Structure formats: C-alpha cells, structure tokens
Amino acid sequence: MGIIRNQLRWSKSRASTFSDCKRKYYLRYYQHWGGWEDGASEISRLAYRLGKMVTMATLTGSAVHEVLAAHFRGLGNGQFRELVPDRPVEIMRRVWMDAKKELWRNNPKKYPPLFELYYDRLPDGDKLRGYAEKARQAIKAVTKLPIYGRLKQIDRADILWVDPAGGAFSERVVFNIPPYEAISVPDLIYKDRDTIVIVDWKTGQVRDQDHLQMEAGAIWARQRINGIDGPIRAYLAYIASDSIDEFPVTDEDCLKAEEVIRDDMEAMTDCLEDSERNIPRPEEAFPRQKSRKFCEYCEFQEICYSPI
C-alpha cells in the first residue's frame, strides 16, 4: 500500500473554510493529518476526531443525500424503488445512538461524534422532531419535482453519474485547473436529449457559492465523463424550501469559475512553508475568526480555545 499524501486541492468546502476562519482551516486540513494512525500525537488525533464531527443540521442534510444517492444509483442500475420519507430519519437515529454510545472513540470516521452530544448542547424535543420532519419533507419534495418524473422515464444509460455518498475517496472526483487540481462531487448528472443536466440537492439556504459549485461540476464533467459535448444546465433544488434555481452553464461561466478557483488556490498556497510538499506555515500564521459568535458552533472549539 502506498503512502497517503496530504495534497492541496481546491474544493468548495475547503475554499469556504479558508475564507471563514484560517485557524479552522489549519486544524481541519493540516493538524488533523495522520490523526487516524496509532502513533499520532494527541492533538492530531483530537483534530481528526473533531474534523469528523457533524451537527444535527449537517446530519439531516447528509442523511437526505445518502437516501437520494442510493435511490438514483438503483435507478441507474434499472432498479426503481419508491423513495421512503422515513429512511433518512432512520439514518439520523442510528448516528445519534452511535454518538451517544461514544463509538467515535475508536472510529470517528465510521461513527462520527455529534456536536450537540459532544459539547452538551442538547436540543429540546420539539427541535429534534423538527430535524426529523425536515428530512421527511425533503424526500417528499423531491418526488414532487418535475425533474423526478422525467428521471423515472429516461433510459438508465442516460444517468451518467450519481454521488457515491459517503464512499471512499476516489481520484474520479479530481479535475485539473492548471497548474492546480480541484475536486467536485456533483449529486447527479444525466442526459436529457442533447443537454447534460447537473443536479444538486440542497437542504439548506441559498448561498452565493452555489453557482460556483455547479460551474465547477460542469468543468469536472467535461474532463471526467465521456461523451459530454453538448450544452450543460445546472439544476439547484432547494428541497427544504421548495425553490428551484435552474440555469445554463456556458463556456464563459466555466472560464470565470476557473479564475476564481485559481485565485483561491493562490491564496491557500501563500500560506504554505513548502508548496511542493504541502507543508503549512506555523499555526500562528492562521489567525482565529475575530467573532466569537462564529465559534459558537465550530466543531474545533475544544482545541482552539483549550489547546492541549
């Protein structure tokens, strides 16, 4: 087995973390490295554990995505099964119970710690039921979309990509923005006559970066999926609020996205002591966010304000 290298690659989440808080960026992408190994330092092991942490809000979204990914993988294999609104709730309950048992102590990747339990921020019963209902409503919302009816009718060969949803990292998600590399993991890509449609399911609110994410997905698709030479449309489905943002992704849009990605990569590279080996400057070169309000729901607060 080869040595796993810590590589600097652009992703929407990495760039967002870098923009939000440099210290969180350092902890998530550098201090955590090797924290899964037996001989890791205590602080690296802790950073690795905290980096796997989920909140109830992120758990809700990931459970919905997991259910949808399994559903559309089945559709692509010619196996249609009805979407069951309670399925993401079952996943959420399992993660909650595993976190309550503190199974993360031995394997935080498989059994992620839950923020609300770990930091003793337990929501009341109404709020917990609200998360469950949001997950159910998100699944129901997908079945009411016109795009869903279309997907049930198309040839399974026209489903070109489905997010592996929690699977091991694959080089398939990497694409090139010379001289850099980037990562994109679209939720779903299918061919509708002569148009390629890139779909992303959103359980949160509209964000400015969402269009950039879809443009990055279009660049990735052009490079990594055979036969994508027609027009591309993006389909952002905000399934928690019954809102759709559908728009064409042009070559000009992709060129602008490439420039944004290069700018992000240049800024992140400037924080490295050794860019060839992706070795960062000392932790002090990555300042904390000035607003403590931002830190209130940061998973790394155990390290950031109570260093080992």
Mean pLDDT of the chain: 92
pLDDT of residue 79: 84
Mean pLDDT in residue range 224-228: 82
pLDDT of residue 37: 92
**With the C-alpha atoms ordered 79, 82, 86, 88, is the resulting torsion angle positive or negative?**
positive
Query: Which residue spans within 97-252 are E strands per DSSP?
Result: 159-162, 174-177, 180-183, 188-192, 195-202, 232-238, 243-249
**How far apart, in Å, are the Cα atoms of 91 and each of 97, 130, 145, 275?**
10, 15, 24, 40
Task: Say yes or no to pLDDT of 290 above 90.
Answer: no
Do residues 271 and 258 make contact, with C-beta atoms less than 8 angstroms apart? no
Strand 180-183 vs strand 174-177: parallel, antiparallel, or unpaired? antiparallel
pLDDT-derived band at 291, boundaries 50, 70, 90 = confident
Token pair 């992140």: residue: 268
> Could you tell me which residues come within 8 angstroms of residue 305 by beta carbon, excluding any fewer than 6 positions away?
295
Do residues 135 and 63 make contact, with C-beta atoms less than 8 angstroms apart? yes
> Half-sphere exposure (CA, 13 Å, Cβ side) for 158?
14
pLDDT of residue 1: 45
Confidence (pTM): 0.92
Task: Say yes or no to pLDDT of 40 above 70.
Answer: yes
Do residues 237 and 142 make contact, with C-beta atoms less than 8 angstroms apart? yes
For 66-105, write each residue's pLDDT tens digit: 999 999 999 888 888 889 999 999 999 999 999 999 999 9
Task: Say yes or no to pLDDT of 167 above 80.
Answer: no
More confident residue, 174 or 168: 174
Strand 232-238 vs strand 243-249: parallel, antiparallel, or unpaired? antiparallel
The span from the CA of 203 to the CA of 131, in Å, is 11
Compute how many other C-beta atoms are within 10 angstroms of the C-beta atom of residue 241.
Answer: 15
Task: Say yes or no to pLDDT of 154 above 80.
Answer: yes
